[in-house]
A = this chain, B = another copy of it.
């Protein structure tokens, strides 16, 4: 997605060979115009999958998935990373997930009221790196007896093994930007390499 690649080049910052900072438009400050286009694109890509629920993880997945769920006319569920007192602990599906960015484990939970057997779930997330978060969400969907009909990713770090892990499970993955490398403080995209010097 050209508009997203441009945002990554113009407003992203390579912090290291593994970390791309995108807090100018995605995960701290949100460019709602770009997020709307991203949501529309996910909805277009998965329009024929008969999606009944869109699921993401708080917080950074909410903005890019919002317009997708709105377009597909399905509820949006954001999995919680920490238990809150309003959530009945006997009534949640949960999965342990390692966050690459925060360097810690968290318990990801979804209320059993929200995913039902037979649901066709589209999973959206801001990043795909090692596939930890996505695998945790897939695990939750499967606990509910529902199925994942696709995975929509805003930014894929294609030099990590997340896509491979998910493909081995037979999942359809659509990433709107695929990054081949962050070496030498330069973002190189898969297929259409674009150079950047910070």
Chain A residues with a Cβ under 8 A of chain B: 15, 19, 21, 23-24, 28-33, 35-36, 58-59, 62-63, 66-67, 69-70, 75-78, 80, 82, 84-87, 101-103, 110-111, 113-114
Neighbouring B residues of A30 by C-beta, 8 Å: 62, 66, 69, 75-78
Neighbouring B residues of A103 by C-beta, 8 Å: 85
Q: Is the CB of B69 within 8 A of A66?
A: no
Neighbouring B residues of A15 by C-beta, 8 Å: 86
Q: Is the CB of B86 within 8 A of A101?
A: yes
Q: Is the CB of A86 within 8 A of B19?
A: yes
| Partner of A111 from B28, B59, B113 at Cβ < 8 Å | B28
Q: Is the CB of A29 within 8 A of B84?
A: no
Known: A19-B86, A66-B66. A32 touches B76 (CB 8 A): yes
Most chain B beta-carbon contacts within 10 A, residue among A21, A62, A86, A101 = A86
Q: Is the CB of B101 within 8 A of A69?
A: no
Q: A78 to nearest B CB, angstroms? A: 6
How many of these chains are in the complex?
2
6 nearest interchain CB pairs?
A58-B59, A32-B70, A59-B59, A30-B76, A62-B62, A21-B86
| Partner of A66 from B32, B85, B114 at Cβ < 8 Å | B32
Q: A155 to nearest B CB, angstroms? A: 13
Q: A110 to nearest B CB, angstroms? A: 8
Neighbouring B residues of A58 by C-beta, 8 Å: 58-59
Neighbouring B residues of A19 by C-beta, 8 Å: 85-86
| Partner of A33 from B70, B82, B84 at Cβ < 8 Å | B70
Q: Is the CB of A84 within 8 A of B59?
A: no
Q: A104 to nearest B CB, angstroms? A: 9
Question: Once the chains are docked, how many angstroms separate the CA of A15 from the CA of B103?
Answer: 34
Neighbouring B residues of A77 by C-beta, 8 Å: 28-30
